[in-house]
Structure 1
Amino acid sequence: MKNVLLTTLLALFAAAASAQTGAVTGRIVDADTGESVVGAVLTVTPARNPEKKQYLTSAYEGSVSIPSLSYGEYGLSVSFLGYNTLDTTFRVASPKVSLGVLKLKPGVQIETVVKEVKAMRTSQKGDTVSYNAGAFKVTTDADVEGLLKKMPGITVTDGTVEAQGEEIKKIFVDGKEFFGEDVTTAIKSLPAEAVERVEVYNKLSDAAEFSGMDDGEGYKALNIVTKPGMRQGQFGKLYAGYGYDADTKTESQHKYIAGGNVNIFSGDSRVSVIGLFNNVNQQNFSFEDILGVTGGSGGRRGGVGQYMMRPQSGVAKVNAVGLNYSDTWGKRDQLSFQGSYFFNNTNTTNRSTTQKWYEAPMAVDTLSTTGYSDTKGFNHRFNARLEWKISENQNLMVRPNFSYQSNDPWSTTQGWQYGESGYSRTDNFNDGLRSGYSLGTFAVYRAKLGKDGRTITLNGSFRYSDSENNATSYSNQLGSLPDRPVTDPATGVWIPDDYVQLRYLRDMAPSRSHTLRGEFTYTEPVAKYAQVSFQYRATYDHQERDKRSYETGSDFSIAGLTPDPQLSNAYESNFTTHRFGPGFRYSKERNTFIANVYYQRSLLDGMVTQNGSEKIRHNYNDVTYFMMGQLNINRENSLRLFVSSYTDNPEVTNLQSVYDISDAQNISHGNPGLKPFYSHRVNFHYVNSNVEKGRTFMWMFSFQSTSDYIATHTVQNPSIEIDGQRYTPNFYSMPVNLDGSRSLMTHLSYGFPIGFLKSNFNVMAGIVYSKTPSMLGGTVDAATGMISGGERNDASNMGYDFRAVLGSNISENVDFTLAWNGTYNEATNSLDASDSKNRYFSHTAQGDLKVVFPLGFTLTASAAYTQYIGFTNDYDSHYTLCNVYVGKKVFRNRRGEIMVGVNDMFNQNKAFARTTGSGWTQNATNSVIGRYYMVQFTYNLRRFGKKGSTNIKDYDGMEHLEGRRRMGPGGPGGPPPFRPR
């Protein structure tokens, strides 16, 4: 009995001892020079379990840190190219163990030999595709955007990054958020030479990543992994230029640009500052419009996310600054912070033209307009992420955000609509001031409850917004008249006096909203590889707006006036949603399957006031689902499939049974019987990465079908009476539910190296199809404003696109990219009796070149030929845009460059767009920057390491071989680098 007791006690003591852990530190240096060795590979082997090896590398100043090793004996092997391997042992028997200074002895000298091998371009682990940045050669002063453009499966268009057919929503740097959701800024703020690799993956939502139960609210993300040697120092780019526009294509002949970015990295502490000031239409920062101050509808119901919009058409003067800061504190990095602040001030002017053809089944008309706009905008926004790792089993994360925006638009539009429906004059003016702020926060608490896979997640969010909208405007009230207007005998221009009856308005529309959301998720393991979950979510959304419109004289004075009841309305709505349901997750090795199903009940309770009060109350019951399957066939092949559904409820403004006659030529009416739409989505991705041959193949497929789609019922040129006044608008419309909305997209992408050209070749081809239903024609009921009768029209569009890119991979001194992309479209309308197709084609052939010659002379050039061809409506618009700059590298390390050149050498730049819809086709043009000459200076800041060397190769932790030429045996005559081809 004593022996049994003694054995049990010894076993317990042994177990307790083995459960204890200690932190191990040390430093790797050169035995001869005492210099730090960065990037040495350490292999740690437990004596009792030699198969459980750990691998790590020495960091800044050769430091080694192993935060947690169980008590016991270990073997240690330290290796690095150019040195003899160091083998030793150590013992962990206390909470802190120091290995001291580990000295690597230089190895045997070898003759200089250069060996060329194919650099590994991509690799794959699970759903993450990793691109080796070293396999894609760009110039030393290129930014991340230039690097991404050469990678297979990735496209960059006007700052929008797409990977595997999906838009990148966030950029991370070394796993930390970088400039929030502003992807455009992020990819222009880091130099390409700082990048070790680029990872593209599916990021789970904040609530789901802790439990592993995918909730379908994730997004495509891109993580930039920096080279270890560039995580300690200062780097960036500063530039300034002055130019002259002799052709005066825009308002100012004098052109200027100044800006840059500075990154200050010190381990986990990182500060990035960006700035941009110019009048040449360079708009690198995204713009946030969550309040709808730019004229949109604002944020969607029930969320706290930020919705970004692209800059408006035209030529902009831009003043913008941004700051991003991140850091980690605590012995175990318990507390981390990432935050960013932006300020944007833009002044955008635009001269536009529109040619819009209404075709069968609509009355055959032509709308021709010209417009001018001058829009001033200010935007402050702040967002942050604070995470507290309370313990290994508990975590708290908070995301605060704040935004203030103002928008001051001034615009005029004149034109004619003429054809089968008669003649009508378009004469509009608007001068507004819209401003508002929004603040909110999101918090999530996550805990593991002892057993692996048993977790609880609690999250909640709050958002409040307040905005003002004051505007003055006038528009023509008269609809179509049958007779052709008379023309001026001298000029031949139509005289519109008899066709214009202007109505002057003063509008004030303050609005407020607040949203509360809470969610609870519990997961429980039911087998070795399986979990079940339960989720409950409640959302409350309150919105209110009080629009008061006054019909004034030409001076817009409202003295003594009361709001016009036909034009004014106020509404208040409360929207409550409850959603709950179970989920299941199975994950074994590298394969995962997830399924969730939810029951959702929504209640809309609103009040609309216009010529009285109207109570709006609706209940909606829905069942939604989400399924995801990840199959990793092997290291080179993976499949990922999403199948999901979602609903979206109509806005209260669409449900109100009142007229909107603010634009007398385009009157609309709400539909109290409108139902929510319900959509099903399928997304499929297949990725093949042949690491040995450097080839990457991707196929993506996406399909969406919507029932009860919220479409538009339009009647052309009706005659209606509203409160005793007769109106003959060009169009009268109301929202209706229609089934049959479809969209499909599939793309193939293939990338591979071409050895004899020392280049990478990427091709992409795809098909995009959409079918959008609508109702056309019918009769307007004078009593209710509802439309009866009419015919359904399905507007379908089939698009075929192809893109090919040849990117050089020769050296840092020769960088070129040749690309061609084209799109062919066929648009049809089901009500068109002739069954004709609106066919049009556009394509662009483009080349970019940067060459650094001996003595530091440079040539930077780009040329693009763009053509738009209409086969149905015969037209051919084309232009060539060519920019050429010659320069000289200056300073000791060629960090500076002076360039002189010309933008748009042939002065042919155009902004042209063709769009189609239900019964119409439109061509539009906008203002552009034309030819101008400029001199520009650029300086690349590079300062790394303790000694502050400005030579990037001295601290490039990933280019080990190149770095060892400096600190390896024999100095510069040490072992040669491997050169990727």
Structure 2
Amino acid sequence: MLITLNRVNALLRTFMPHTNKFMRAFTKSILLFLLFAGFFTNSNAQNYAVKGIVLDTAGLPLPGAVVRIKFGTDSIGTSANPDGTFALDKIKSKQFTLSAAFIGFDTFIKQYQIEKGNILNITDIRLKPSANTLEGVVISGVPPVKVTEDTVSFSARAFPVRDGDAVDEVLKKLPGIKVDKDGNVTSQGSPVTKIRVNGKDFFGTDVATAIKNLPADIIKNLQFIDDYGDQAKLTGIKTGGPEKVLNLTIEEDKKKGYFARASAGLGNADRYNTNIRGNSMKGEQQISFDATSANANMRGGGGDGITTRNVAGLNYKNEFNSKLSADAGYNFNNNKNNTISSTYTQSVLQDAGQNPLTRLEDARNNSKSDNYSHWFGGNLEYKIDTMNYLKISPNFSYNTNSGNNTGSSLITQDTLFTRRESNNLSNSNNLNARTNIFYNHKFLKKGRNLSSWGNINYTNGENFGNVYNKYFNFEGKGVDSVQNLLNNQNNRNLGLNIGASYMEPLWKKTFLEVNYSWNRSSTNNLRDTYNVVEGNEVFNPKLSNIYDYQFITNKIGLNYRYIGEKLNYTLGINTQPALLQGQNLSNNIETVNRTFNLIPSGRFSYKFSNQQSLDVNYWGRNNQPGFLQLQPISDNSNLQNVVTGNPNLKPEFIHSINAHYKQADWSAGKVIMANFKYERTNDRIVTTKERVPGTVNQRTSYINTDGYYTLQGDYNISKPLSPERKFTIGYSGSGQLNNNITFTDDSRIEARNMAWRQELEFRVDLKDIVNFEVETSYSQNLTKYSNDTFTDRQSNRFECGIEGRNYFFKDLTLGYDFTKQINSGFDNSAVRNPTLLRLSMEYKFMKNDMAAIRVEGFDLFDQNSGISRDVFDNEIVDRQVNRLGRYFMLSLIYRVRKFGG
């Protein structure tokens, strides 16, 4: 029997409170003897050893699997090696219970007994795949990267950052993940639209705020999930397109504590930046807040124009008990923006005689806006019992905006040209209220489910505008014209959606699902237009209208699902009649369009191994026309381009196929990801343009046509060059092909636009020395037309840069961000090849580095500007905008934190 030193001392303190030095010395001698005797006895006790290998059902190893052996009241554990093997010794009993656990697999538990010798070799540990649901996505943190059907998971421990860094610094290290200078996050080319913490929504859709709010060292795993909705989580039936969600799991020992950070900075040119954020956690209860007031460093200064931003956000989540949990958030946002832009637009025209013509517009604009918005949303989840689940998700937003846009444009077409000067004022307010209700019932028979849902969405928007245009016609006539209009517009929409789904297990691995959904969207739009003549407002009945329209669909579907160890697929067929009807109440005209779609659907997922998977998904969907596309009146706020809606438009129907390939080498951290997407649109809504003879003016409307398609693809390969991930190389690329269609004077024009980009990255992470990333990329944008007489249009961009931080001693940090762009082919004389450089120096002081002083220089060469090219139907638009320019700033930062305990 081994008697510990602490226990004996406690006994002595109880029975001999007045021991003298002699007794204490004597006692220690006795204790040392007992300890030695205990050690000797223990060293001669019988010890046993167990070794083995952890495999999946296909015989492939599961590196990082957690293996535990329990004997009596004691237990020991370890993690499997890269080849799946493990070894444990100092087991003091022949009889024991072994358990093995790994992400995405059912836990293995079995009792063993050592019959002969002291060593037992176990080879029958095979883990079966668990059900494919999002709720099961939790990883042990041992493998750096883990891929499953819908999730790519990263262990935060495998991507360490400096003390005090937020989650955004971890994201920058992850393969396939991009964080731009404004805090926007993309995963495999898809934008991350929502962040969750331990499965609960965090700061709504404000991703940039969320990734700055949590310290990196409390994060256990980062999981990028293709979220197909609540029904998919519970039943596994996935249809439609997913939402890309980032879920952050918190270390268990960090779920109790708090974190707060405050900063204040002042710079030249009246620049300032103040921020306070904090987070408090107590188990599953979490409260977070964030507030910012700044006119500089708008999360990197990458936004268009100069912005003054005042924001505040509050987020709350809690699990009140095992049945009831909730999360809620509120965001306030006030943005004041001033954007100065130059735009060069080329429109390719073609008449019935197949004669090509190019219309050029060179425009300059100065736009000012002042926007206020309020958003509140949340989720209430109630697990009524083991068979019933209810979720209610309310959402409310309200925003107001006032704007003033002044500008001028010069349009040339053949030998004709016109100049326009404009001054437009606008004021608007919009209300949106939405509530989603989801209910699921599980029957006693495993796999039998009944789901139902209901959604209601109400929007009410009002817009007041004053349009003032002055035209100078240089056609030998010397005629000037002035246009002054007042527009009052009100738009209300009520959307309703209800549906139900029933899933029945047929055999052990197969299920049959029947679903029905009904959707109705009803819109009412009122528009009053007045001509301002010599200061008097005169009602214009030709430009005023009351127009209602409704879009109604009924969808009935049947899906067959198979769940195998490697193959998982769903095959379905859906029928969907759709009704689009409109009522022009001003002119007493009613239009009705009925369509019927037979929609096959399919989803295939194949797991080559636990490190490699491929999934392919097809679905079809309707897309209703917008109000302005349907309204049968003319918008002549710009006489050079008068737009008239078409009430006879049909809904678009979109066929979509996408594929995702994922491969991860858990031991080496190598990651390969690739995506492919193809969409073809029937009854595509495209523009029609009709030239006004003898002028540069044109009339625009809309029509349905076929032939539009788009192809997209991207890939990312990342490989660490050392086991500790000190050096990592990444190679990525993307491409897109669009077949755009438009009509000019009844002539069809097809413009194939192809854009592609290749990028090479090299990253260095040396702990407490340096972290930096070197990037080089080349991209090209090429447009070809169906008429050979039209000249191909091409632009090119080469970009290189380095971003990182160097650490001196433990308190001083040098930060840098350098980018050089070389552009060619942009048809805009104002385009430059900007060189951007940002430097910062930060010094930490006080106990636990609670305070820091930061000196920063932004855009030191004063060349920050936004350059872009967009291709729409028959138009190519080259645009350059102003952005935040050079400034210097001194900031004071203060942090307090305490986690664990």
Tell me, yes or no, whether TM beats 0.5: yes
Matched, 1:857 2:880: no
SS of the aligned residue for 1:509 comes to strand
- Residues 660-714 of structure 1, C-alpha deviations (whole Å, 9 max, x = no match): 3332221122334322222211111111111122211112111111122111111
Q: 1:177 to 1:616 in 2, by over 3 A?
A: same
Matching residue of 2:411: 417
Matched, 1:568 2:591: no
The offset of 1:312, in angstroms, is: 7.2
Q: 1:370 to 1:217 in 2, by over 3 A?
A: closer
Matching residue of 1:623: 598
Which residue of 279, 282, 286 corresponds with 2:295? Answer: 279
Matching residue of 1:763: 731
Correspondence list, 1:332-411, <5 A: 333-359=322-348, 361=350, 363-411=357-405
Which residue of 439, 445, 448 corresponds with 1:454? Answer: 448
Matching residue of 1:970: none
Matching residue of 1:19: none
The offset of 1:380, in angstroms, is: 0.1
| 8 A Cα contact 2:827 2:878, kept in partner | no
Matched, 1:123 2:146: yes
**Structure 1: distance between partners of 2:898 and 2:849:** 14
The offset of 1:531, in angstroms, is: 0.8
Q: CA RMSD in A?
A: 3.0
Higher relative contact order (CA 8 A, sep 6+): 1
Q: 1:406 to 1:87 in 2, by over 3 A?
A: farther
| 8 A Cα contact 2:551 2:624, kept in partner | no
Matching residue of 2:706: 739
**Structure 2: distance between partners of 1:818 and 1:671:** 51
**Structure 1: distance between partners of 2:149 and 2:804:** 36
- Residues 568-622 of structure 1, C-alpha deviations (whole Å, 9 max, x = no match): 1111123222111211111123532112221112223321144x22112222211
The offset of 1:411, in angstroms, is: 0.8
Deviating more after overlay: 790-799 vs 266-275: 790-799
| 8 A Cα contact 1:764 1:804, kept in partner | yes
Which residue of 528, 543, 562 corresponds with 2:508? Answer: 528
**Structure 2: distance between partners of 1:142 and 1:425:** 53
Matching residue of 2:652: 677
SS of the aligned residue for 1:710 comes to strand
Matching residue of 2:315: 324
**Structure 2: distance between partners of 1:565 and 1:915:** 36
SS of the aligned residue for 1:566 comes to helix
What are structure 2's unaligned runs of at least 5 residues?
A: 1-5, 11-51, 55-69, 79-87, 98-140, 351-355
**Structure 2: distance between partners of 1:892 and 1:74:** 46
**Structure 1: distance between partners of 2:601 and 2:9:** 60
Matching residue of 1:439: 433
Matching residue of 1:816: 772
Question: What letter matches 1:432 in structure 2?
Answer: S
| 8 A Cα contact 2:151 2:226, kept in partner | yes
Q: 1:538 to 1:370 in 2, by over 3 A?
A: same
Q: 1:499 to 1:343 in 2, by over 3 A?
A: farther
Matching residue of 2:211: 187
SS of the aligned residue for 1:210 comes to helix
Correspondence list, 1:51-200, <5 A: 77-79=74-76, 120-157=143-180, 158-200=182-224
- Residues 413-440 of structure 1, C-alpha deviations (whole Å, 9 max, x = no match): 1121124151211222111110021112
Correspondence list, 1:39-50, <5 A: none
Matching residue of 2:306: 315
The offset of 1:446, in angstroms, is: 0.6
Compute the TM-score of the two structures, normalised by the length of structure 2. Answer: 0.82
Question: What letter matches 2:839 in structure 1?
Answer: V
**Structure 2: distance between partners of 1:154 and 1:502:** 52
Matching residue of 1:254: 270
SS of the aligned residue for 2:832 comes to strand
Matching residue of 1:969: none
Deviating more after overlay: 386-395 vs 842-851: 842-851
Matching residue of 1:602: 578
Deviating more after overlay: 347-356 vs 362-371: 362-371
| 8 A Cα contact 2:344 2:828, kept in partner | no
Matching residue of 1:11: none
Matching residue of 1:894: 849
Matching residue of 1:225: 249
Q: 1:740 to 1:334 in 2, by over 3 A?
A: same
Q: 1:346 to 1:416 in 2, by over 3 A?
A: same
Q: 1:625 to 1:75 in 2, by over 3 A?
A: farther
Q: 1:542 to 1:591 in 2, by over 3 A?
A: same
| 8 A Cα contact 2:582 2:647, kept in partner | no
**Structure 2: distance between partners of 1:425 and 1:798:** 33
Question: What letter matches 1:482 in structure 2?
Answer: E
Q: 1:442 to 1:358 in 2, by over 3 A?
A: closer
Question: What letter matches 2:596 in structure 1?
Answer: N
| 8 A Cα contact 1:771 1:795, kept in partner | yes
| 8 A Cα contact 2:768 2:810, kept in partner | no
**Structure 1: distance between partners of 2:622 and 2:168:** 36
Question: What letter matches 1:932 in structure 2?
Answer: Y
Matching residue of 1:638: 613
Q: 1:934 to 1:209 in 2, by over 3 A?
A: same
**Structure 2: distance between partners of 1:641 and 1:803:** 26
Correspondence list, 1:729-878, <5 A: 730-755=697-722, 758-776=726-744, 778=745, 790-834=746-790, 836-854=791-809, 856-870=811-825, 877-878=832-833
SS of the aligned residue for 1:893 comes to helix
Question: What letter matches 2:482 in structure 1?
Answer: L
**Structure 2: distance between partners of 1:275 and 1:763:** 37
SS of the aligned residue for 2:605 comes to strand
Question: What letter matches 1:566 in structure 2?
Answer: K
- Residues 178-207 of structure 1, C-alpha deviations (whole Å, 9 max, x = no match): 122222222222222222221222223113
SS of the aligned residue for 1:685 comes to strand
| 8 A Cα contact 2:183 2:299, kept in partner | no
The offset of 1:281, in angstroms, is: 5.7
Give the percent of matched residue pairs that are identical in Structure 1 and Structure 2.
25
**Structure 2: distance between partners of 1:32 and 1:418:** 99
Q: 1:845 to 1:284 in 2, by over 3 A?
A: closer
Q: 1:939 to 1:710 in 2, by over 3 A?
A: same
Matching residue of 2:82: none
**Structure 2: distance between partners of 1:591 and 1:358:** 49
**Structure 2: distance between partners of 1:90 and 1:464:** 62
How many residue pairs match? The answer is 779
The offset of 1:841, in angstroms, is: 0.8
Q: Which 4+ stretches in 1 moved above 6 angstroms?
A: 30-34, 83-91, 871-876
SS of the aligned residue for 1:213 comes to coil
- Residues 238-275 of structure 1, C-alpha deviations (whole Å, 9 max, x = no match): 2211000xxxxxxxx21000113211111100011011
Q: 1:499 to 1:147 in 2, by over 3 A?
A: farther
Q: 1:454 to 1:668 in 2, by over 3 A?
A: same
**Structure 2: distance between partners of 1:397 and 1:359:** 52
**Structure 1: distance between partners of 2:393 and 2:166:** 29
| 8 A Cα contact 1:324 1:339, kept in partner | yes
The offset of 1:168, in angstroms, is: 2.2
| 8 A Cα contact 1:421 1:717, kept in partner | no
